[in-house]
Amino acid sequence: MNEPDVAGLRVSAAKFVREQECSLVQASDFPMDISRDEQRVLHALAQGGHIAAIKNERGKIIEFEFFNRDGWLISGLTPRIFNKLKAKKAIRSQAGQPYRITRRGLELVRSQVDNR
């Protein structure tokens, strides 16, 4: 009679350990898929670019200026892409400074060889 109890405890203990291991997995352990346009923006930011937000009198963002590391203005950043990157916590602004890539953004961007 002791053997079934011991076996039952072993199964319960193994199940408990598996549940605990599963709970240690975080959402950041699995990168999210990002679109080609988001990938392009994040790659330029990872190389040292930034996004300057132009605000109205109320402080609401009305326009963006997207610069590469050399200071050239890049087109293609839409409010939709900006909001998606901000929602994914891939970009961030601190103390009114331009938006820059975050660690999360660096995790999301797939590395590409720089042909310079």
The residue whose two tokens read 């720089």 is 114
Separation CA 75–CA 78 (nearest Å): 9
109: pLDDT confidence band, cut at 50, 70 and 90? Answer: confident
Q: Which three-class secondary structure state does DSSP give residue 30?
A: coil
pLDDT the model gives residue 33: 79
Confidence of residue 72 (pLDDT cuts 50, 70, 90): very high
Whole-angstrom Cα Rg for the chain: 23
pLDDT at 84 over 90: yes
Residue 110 has pLDDT above 90, yes or no: no
Q: Could you tell me which residues come within 8 angstroms of residue 10 by beta carbon, excluding any fewer than 6 positions away?
A: none
Does a structural domain hold residue 57?
yes
* Residue numbers of the domain that contains 75: 36-108
d(CA 43, CA 62): 24
Provide the number of structural domains found in the chain.
Answer: 1
Residue 22 lies in a domain: no
Summarised one tens digit per residue, pLDDT across range 9-67 is 555 555 555 555 555 545 455 556 789 999 999 999 999 999 999 999 999 999 999 99
Asked if 53 and 73 count as a contact pair (C-beta separation under 8 A), the reply is no
Prediction pTM value: 0.67
pLDDT at 113: 60
Output the furthest CA–CA distance in the chain (Å, rounded).
79
Within-domain flag for 6: no
> What is the per-residue pLDDT for 16?
55
Q: Which residue has the tokens 């409010």?
A: 79
Q: At what angle do helices 79-87 and 36-46 cross, to 10 degrees?
A: 70
Calpha distance 36→53 (Å, rounded): 22
Is position 3 within any domain? no
